[in-house]
Amino acid sequence: MNEAIIKSPVLGEQYTQIKHPSGLTVLLCPMSGFSSAYALFAAKVGSIDTTFKTPGEDDFVEVPPGIAHFLEHKMFENEEGDAFQKYAATGASANAYTSFDRTAYLFSCSDNFPQAMEILLDFVSRPYFTPESVQKEQGIIGQEIQMYDDSPSWQTMVGLLESLYHNNPVRLDIAGTVESISEITADLLYRCYHTFYNLSNMVLAVAGSFDPQVVLDLCDKILKPQEEVEIQWRRADEPREVAAHRKAKALSVSVPMFQIGFKGEAGDTLQNLKAQVMDEILLEILCGESSPLYRRLYDQGLINATFEYEVLAGRDYLVPMYGGESRDPDAVYDAICREAERLCKEGIPADAFDWCRKATYGRYVGMYSRVDAVASLLVLTHFSGLENMYELLDLVRDLTLEDLTDRLGRDFQPRYSAVSIVEPV
């Protein structure tokens, strides 16, 4: 068992990185002063992974959109019942999520940590699918898809990604469609499970109040050694230009909702993580709460307290974006594009860069004081290829004004932008 202690001289904190004999990477970060523990068992597979192959296969396998999300739902069931019922007996709070490039199973608890951890390792390592249970789940997820079809906030996001991308599967709904999930079978689920839930393609991260030896003993007890699987993903043939600059849909809302995004030039996961850090600072400089443009739009009544920004980044996709409510989303879009052009021409003010970089650094430091955020950072940085999670602080600290200026000129261009609007019926 390979073990390394990772320390942060800045924070005075540390965690342990272990390569378990099963092939699983285990990241353990006990945190003093906390009464709860938070665990994430994650696989590097998400909704974009619809075309892949492994050694020995002549051609790529294509699976229906939505299968990663479908698989996440089905993992909680086995011959003995539902894992949520077992968690309820321990008092732990359990959940799971599927994103565009990741699937994670998680729990948090203040008591009965060994029991909760055993449940997590056990149900994720024991798939159980039957034609009957798959058919039942198709009906359940079909209703979930229809529910999201009527969700204004989700539809603005879907509309933005459909506008920015031509072929990248990130433009497809994470849950798929009613038609695509109807093609999912038990055999396909087993095929995806044995490919992507290979322990070498997964990571277990635990933070907070717990005994690391308990985790390692349970890994020894439950996880069987697996031969590492080399997965080859097929990248979409995606042009640099956007598919459309504007997309609108009518739903039951009282005020129009919008998402404005820029199609970043995506690299590998490590490059995208570095770009994400820069884009977060650029979004604050461009139209964050401290910017002149934010104050102007707010005073004009074009944005309100719902206005916010985030960066959607992962394998083969990168989208810095703003969202919120506005009586005139097109005016907000136009103002942001014009401000980006102005900053490209006149340059980013040095004081704005310095303030926003320090604010971002402080926000990142604050994340290391929350058990859920630490576990999530461990997973994010591991899958992104950083040597350790503390390097994230170094990325922010070492940024220069020249770095941000170059990034602004490459990706924050109106021709690489789009707006998605949900209008009142």
Q: What is the pLDDT of residue 37?
A: 98
DSSP one-letter string for 111-146: S-HHHHHHHHHHHHT-----HHHHHHHHHHHHHHHH
Instruction: Report the catalytic residues.
Output: 72
Give the β-pairing of 246-251 and 417-424: parallel
CATH (one of 3.90.79.10, 3.30.300.30, 3.30.830.10, 3.40.50.2300) for 246-424: 3.30.830.10
User: What span, in angstroms and rounded, lies between the C-alpha atoms of 356 and 279?
Assistant: 11
* Residue appearing with tokens 């926003």: 356
Count the neighbouring beta carbons within 10 Å of the beta carbon of residue 285. 22
Q: Are 201 and 44 in contact (CB under 8 A)?
A: yes
Q: What is the pLDDT of residue 268?
A: 81
Q: What is the pLDDT of residue 80?
A: 79
The strand pairing partners of 422, in sequence order, are 249, 257
User: What span, in angstroms and rounded, lies between the C-alpha atoms of 248 and 137?
Assistant: 31
Q: Are 24 and 219 in contact (CB under 8 A)?
A: yes
The strand pairing partners of 320, in sequence order, are 311
Closest CA to 403 of 274, 283, 300: 274
User: What span, in angstroms and rounded, lies between the C-alpha atoms of 291 and 289?
Assistant: 6
Closest CA to 318 of 285, 275, 382: 275
Q: Are 299 and 319 in contact (CB under 8 A)?
A: no
* Residue appearing with tokens 């599927």: 98
Residues of the chain short of pLDDT 70, as ranges, are none
User: What span, in angstroms and rounded, lies between the C-alpha atoms of 425 and 422?
Assistant: 9
The phi, psi pair for 259, rounded to 5°, reads -135, 130
Q: What is the pLDDT of residue 77?
A: 87
Half-sphere exposure of 159 (CA within 13 A, CB side): 27
Closest CA to 189 of 129, 126, 105: 129
User: What span, in angstroms and rounded, lies between the C-alpha atoms of 44 and 32?
Assistant: 30
Going from N- to C-terminal start, the domains of the chain cover 2-233, 246-424
Closest CA to 165 of 420, 342, 395: 420
Q: Can you state the angle between helices 113-124 and 83-90, rounded to 10 degrees?
A: 170
CATH topology match: 2-233 vs 246-424: yes
Half-sphere exposure of 377 (CA within 13 A, CB side): 22
Closest CA to 381 of 51, 39, 35, 44: 44
The phi, psi pair for 272, rounded to 5°, reads -70, -35
The reported pTM is 0.94
DSSP one-letter string for 21-55: TTS-EEEEEE-TT-S-EEEEEEES--TT--EEE-T
Architecture of domain 2-233: 2-Layer Sandwich (3.30)
Q: Are 371 and 208 in contact (CB under 8 A)?
A: yes
Closest CA to 245 of 310, 127, 164: 164
* Amino acid found at 76: F
User: What span, in angstroms and rounded, lies between the C-alpha atoms of 130 and 186?
Assistant: 6
**Integer CA distances (angstroms), 90 to 84, 97, 121, 124, 324, in order:** 10, 21, 15, 18, 39
Q: What is the pLDDT of residue 325?
A: 97
